[in-house]
Structure 1
């Protein structure tokens, strides 16, 4: 059966490249920091920065259960730190999502005047592009 379905699906290794600037007191930043509060989540994100992988592959790489890997992937997806880059097929013919890190630089800022935040974010973005 392994010859009937391609094990290597199409995987988009590109991604957004525009820098993201967040402020510590934003709701979106709370979700982002929360998703990275666990060592396992950070290990998964580090693995995905090396190369795209399925949840099963990531679970093996970071020595955790598939359920735990999927939990952290869900949190990382919600925080826009990873994305689904494509699909692959398992040996049993099941379609599996392939995950990749979002390649855009990310900056979290603390403090600053509300009126100057947009100018500051633009300056950081132009520096990182």
Structure 2
């Protein structure tokens, strides 16, 4: 049936190999994969203002401390964040 609207050309959706983004010449990383998570993006945005603890970042991203730590480790490996200080809990051993 004829139509007034032109037909678009079909698009070839052939899968391609994954590519890595090189952040540092010595260490290629997949930065795009690291920041593809909403949680990682929230953590990265929170760290834009000032340093924060893992538990603070977990609360900001509304996730568990373990999940926040997972994303922070990957952000560190990608060279997007770095640890500035280490603090330990003041709770006494039981």
TM-score (norm 1): 0.48
Runs (5+) with no aligned partner, structure 1? 1-24, 94-129
2:69 maps to 70
* CA radius of gyration, larger in: 2
Q: CA deviation at 1:28?
A: 2.7
Computed over aligned residues only, the root mean square deviation of the Cα atoms, in angstroms, reads 2.1
The question of whether the paired residues in 1 share the 8 Å contact of 2:39 and 2:61 is answered with yes
After superposition, residues 17-32 of structure 1 pair within 5 angstroms as 26-28=20-22, 31-32=30-31
Q: Which has the higher contact order (CA 8 A, sep 6+)?
A: 1
Greater fraction helix: 1
Q: TM-score, normalised by structure 2?
A: 0.65
Runs of 4+ in 1 over 6 A off after TM superposition: none
- Name the structure with the higher strand share: 1
Aligned pairs, number: 70
